[in-house]
Amino acid sequence: MGAGAVLPVVAQAPGSPTLAAIRARGQVVCGVQSNNPPFSLPDSRGVWRGMDVDSCRALAAAIFGDAEKAVIRPVTGMTRFPAVQSGDIDVLYGSTTWTTTRETQLGLVFAAANYYSGQGFLVRRSLGVTRLAQLDGATICVPPGSTTEVILQEWFRANRLSFQPILIDDPNEIIGAFLSGRCDVYTRDMTGLSGFRMTQPKPDDFLLLPENITMEPLGAWIRKGDDQWLDIVRWTQFALVWAEQHGVTAATVDNPGPSPSSDVRRLLGAGDIGPTMGLDRRWAANAIRAVGHYGEVWERNAAPYGLARGLNRLWDQGGLMYSPPLR
């Protein structure tokens, strides 16, 4: 539809029960993995940091104007979906991949991608392995019931290789098993493996194999049937990307210059985008002020681990990140 087209006015659906519950408790609750750099990890003071944490903080700022109203709740591969299905958490991050059956069978919907990654493999250099094809017969630590486990089985079967799975649900226990030598290989998304490797006292003792076997969008999951909450989660994430596309940072959000474009003015509160979602007109500005645009989130959380931005660059820089128009 062209820019000059007039959109019909449609009556809004009943208010979001999730948003009502969030406002009643005064907090938004997000599920993340407990030891998952650069997505979610407590720092030395116990303060949660990471890409997923900042996505949650942006949501809290969009809703309340206060990023401190984000509550981070650790989940595991086995507890994450029941936690969001039951309402124990309002939104699930936790490096959770978008798949067909999760949307068609679990009563959940993928709201927004905040990261593009793929499944990789980390080994100790002392193992003498440099390629995936050399892992025949290896013991591999993997969380049960995850896409990681299913894809692993399919890849080894297709390549006529065998492996011995060591099934552990708790991410911290998986790490302990790998470091103790109980399993030869640690597999999960490439980014998480890179982050884990860089947190070790001697990162060069470990080798991230060059191949990854999937392409996976990671991001936010919510319960189906709450369209207003879907709008809020989805468009808050998009707003961070849109801000980077238009050069609006945490430092400039309150002073965008003398003649901001109409796109920037809408992002910062002109028009009725916020009220159509039950939010303040400055919802996006509040989110950007709290965490910065997507590139700032990346630089704060992923860049310190030496991670190349790769597919998470903006679309006009060769990546996959872009926002549909905010209008």
Give the Cα separation of 187 and 166 in Å (integer).
11
Decide if pLDDT at 10 tops 80. Answer: no
When the pLDDT of each residue in the chain is averaged and rounded to a whole number, the result is 91
* Residue in 46, 39, 142, 38 with CA at minimum distance from that of residue 93: 39
Q: Are 250 and 295 in contact (CB under 8 A)?
A: no
- 243-274 pLDDT, tens digit each: 999 999 999 999 988 889 999 999 999 989 99
38 burial via Cβ count (<10 Å: 0-12, 13-18, 19+): buried
Domain boundaries, the chain: 17-117+216-317, 119-209
Give the Cα separation of 9 and 225 in Å (integer).
22
Q: What share of the chain is helix, strand, coil (3-state, %, to 5)?
A: 40, 20, 40
C-alpha to C-alpha distances, 117 to 83, 96, 120, 199, 315, nearest whole angstrom:
24, 11, 9, 19, 16
SS3 call for 158: helix
- 65-98 pLDDT, tens digit each: 999 999 999 998 889 999 999 999 999 998 898 9
CATH of 17-117+216-317, one of 3.90.280.10, 3.40.190.10, 3.40.190.290, 3.30.930.10: 3.40.190.10
Q: Rg (Cα) of the chain, in Å, rounded?
A: 21
- 184-233 pLDDT, tens digit each: 999 888 888 888 898 899 999 999 888 888 888 999 999 999 999 999 99
Task: Compute the Cα dihedral for 100, 192, 174, 181 and give only its sign.
Answer: positive
Give the Cα separation of 293 and 295 in Å (integer).
6
The yes/no answer on whether domain 119-209 falls in CATH 3.40.1480.10 is: no
Assess whether the region 17-117+216-317 and the region 119-209 belong to the same CATH fold: yes
Tokens read off for 235 = 């468009």
Decide if pLDDT at 147 tops 80. Answer: no
pLDDT band at 14 (very low <50, low <70, confident <90, very high): low
Q: Are 216 and 262 in contact (CB under 8 A)?
A: no
Give the mean pLDDT of 311-319: 95
Please, what is the angle between helix 17-25 and helix 227-245, to 10°? Answer: 80
Is the pTM value of this prediction over 0.75? yes
